Copies of this chain bind each other. A is one copy, B any other.
Amino acid sequence: MEKYRLLIETNDEKGLVYKVSKTIFKHNLNVERNSEYVDKEENKFFMRTVVTGNFIPEKLLADVKRELPEDAEIKLTNDDNKDIVILATKEMHCLGDLLIRHTEGKLKANIKAVISNHNSLKEFVEKFDIPFEYISHENISREEHEKKISHAINKYSHELIVLAKYMRILSPNFVKLFEGKLLNIHHSFLPAFIGANPYKQAYDRGVKIIGATSHFVTNDLDEGPIIAQDVIRVDHTYSWQAMRDAGQNVEKIVLSNALDLVLRDRVFIYNNKTVIL
């Protein structure tokens, strides 16, 4: 009994659902969950179908491809955990949340390694029997540092790189190297408070609500496609440090939720936005 996810992204036209569901029916599969979305403005069609049954995945994929337009993007993914590598700096809350979920068996991922530009998390990470790589950014150029980081990442199998409060700006070259694989958590309700110390910015502006945003990384700082956001209320009694402490709860939950969506192949990206099916 196999369990697979069929993921389709293509230009919209009449009959797409019919053609896909016909193929699934012919293969005699059970549909566990099926979601579609059509962006009428952009004329784009998205579909995610979870199927179970006894079937040959390659055969199903080939049959679906035959039915759909040639330029349709079609993927068939299984339900296995995905390999991920985590980048961090010094903060423990997001990283710790992921490690505990991993230990609990709640994360649909295998954490292959944690890489940091500081050494302070080493002991903590190794408690969980996860390899820790310390790659200092001191006394070397950004280019050299990123080269070392990417080298370290590539030592481990990875389908996704999670920036769990990795507090370094990434160069376009680095982003390009891992395009579509970089998941970040930003400690503000984007697009408010892009850049450094968003809690201080929020404090200075006197907002009554703060938040966090998880997004894919693109070349434009904090401008990538948003996957998940959440907020909490604050008031005038909060110093910016109190905002930060309260906000870290939001950060870790938003990052974990966004990661979970990505790990279950529920996130489609287009037009610098996400469709979540």
**A-side interface residues toward B, CB under 8 Å?**
14-15, 17-18, 21-22, 24-25, 28-41, 92-93, 96-97, 100, 103-104, 106, 124, 127-128, 189-193, 205-209, 211, 225-231, 233, 235-237, 239, 245, 249, 253, 256-257, 271-276
Contacts and interface: CB of A to CB of B under 8 A. Distances in A.
A273 B236 contact: yes
Contacts of A207: 190-191, 226, 229
A28 B40 contact: no
Contacts of A24: 18
Given A25-B15, A273-B236, A226 B245 contact: no
A96 B92 contact: no
Contacts of A230: 209
A233 B233 contact: yes
A128 B177 CA distance: 37
Contacts of A103: 92, 96, 124
19 contacts: A14-B30, A17-B31, A18-B24, A31-B38, A32-B40, A35-B35, A37-B237, A93-B100, A93-B104, A96-B96, A96-B100, A97-B97, A100-B100, A190-B205, A205-B273, A207-B226, A209-B211, A233-B233, A236-B276
A208 B257 CA distance: 13
A204 to B, nearest CB: 8
A90 B178 CA distance: 38
5 tightest A-B CB contacts, nearest first: A206-B273, A96-B100, A18-B21, A192-B192, A127-B127
A239 to B, nearest CB: 8
A25 B14 contact: yes
Contacts of A34: 17, 36, 38
A38 B28 contact: no
Contact of A253 (B17, B253, B257): B253
Contacts of A205: 190-191, 226, 273
A254 to B, nearest CB: 10
B190 A191 contact: no
A276 B209 contact: no
A18 B15 CA distance: 10
Contacts of A124: 103
Contacts of A21: 15, 17-18, 21
A86 to B, nearest CB: 15
Contacts of A128: 127
A226 B206 contact: yes
A274 B17 contact: no
Contact of A206 (B92, B104, B225, B257): B225
A192 to B, nearest CB: 4
